[in-house]
Structure 1
Amino acid sequence: MPKLIATHEVDDVAHWLSSPKRAEVFASVAKDICTFVDPANPNRVGLSMEVADMAAFQAIMTSDAGAEAMKYDGVRPETLVVLVAS
C-alpha cells in the first residue's frame, strides 16, 4: 500500500483542519490520514496517507466530488503537490 504526501496552500488553516470533507472523500481509498501545518508558511498544509488503490485515488482527485471538497476546504489547487513513497 503506497504512502503519499500531499502539500498545498489553503485560504483558512483552521477551517481546513476542522473540515469533515477529507474523511468523506478519501475514506474509500485511503487510511491513516494525518494533517500537517507548515509553521513557516501559515497557509501551507499537508497530508500523509496510505492509499490502497492509486487509480481510485487519482479518479477521486479528478472527480467533481474531489473538486467540490477542495473548494469547500479552501484548497488552492494550483499549489497541490503529491509525492509517492518509493
Structure 2
Amino acid sequence: MPTIMVCHDVKDAKHWLASPIRKQVLEPVGVANIRTFTDPQASNHVGLVMDVADMEKLMAFMQTQAAADAMASDGVLPETMMILVQS
C-alpha cells in the first residue's frame, strides 16, 4: 500500500482542519491513515499524508464532481495541489 503526500493551499486552514469531508470521501476509495499538516510559515499551505490501497482508483476519483465538491467545501485551491508518492 503506497503512502502519498499531498500539499496544497486552502482559503482557511482552521476550516480545512476541522472538516470531516476529506475522510468521508477518501476512505470509501481505499484511503486510510490520513494525517494532516499545516505550514507554520504560511497559514494557508497545508498537507496530507495517507496510505492508498489503489492509486488508479484514487486518481480516477480525483477527476469526479464529488471530489471537486469536497475540495470546494474544504476551501482547497486545486490549482496548487501537488501529489508525491513514497519511493
Report the counterpart of residue 10 of structure 2 in structure 1. 10
RMSD of aligned alpha carbons = 0.6
Structure 1 unaligned residues grouped into runs of 5+: none
The 10-residue stretch of structure 1 (4-13 or 19-28) with the greater mean CA deviation from structure 2: 19-28
Report the CA distance between 1:19 and its aligned residue: 0.5
> Structure 2 CA distance, aligned partners of 1:76 and 1:58?
17
Report the counterpart of residue 74 of structure 2 in structure 1. 73
Structure 2 unaligned residues grouped into runs of 5+: none
Q: Secondary structure at the match of 2:79?
A: strand
Pairs within 5 Å for 1:4-83 = 4-28=4-28, 29-83=30-84
TM-score for the superposition, normalised by structure 1: 0.97
Q: Secondary structure at the match of 2:49?
A: strand
Report the CA distance between 1:60 and its aligned residue: 1.3
Report the CA distance between 1:41 and its aligned residue: 0.6
Report the CA distance between 1:59 and its aligned residue: 1.3
Aligned residues: 86
Report the CA distance between 1:71 and its aligned residue: 0.3
Q: Secondary structure at the match of 2:42?
A: coil
State whether residues 2 and 50 of structure 1, in contact with CA within 8 Å, keep that contact through their aligned partners in structure 2. yes
Amino acid at match of 2:3: K
Report the CA distance between 1:66 and its aligned residue: 0.4
Where do 4+ consecutive residues of structure 1 move more than 2 Å? none
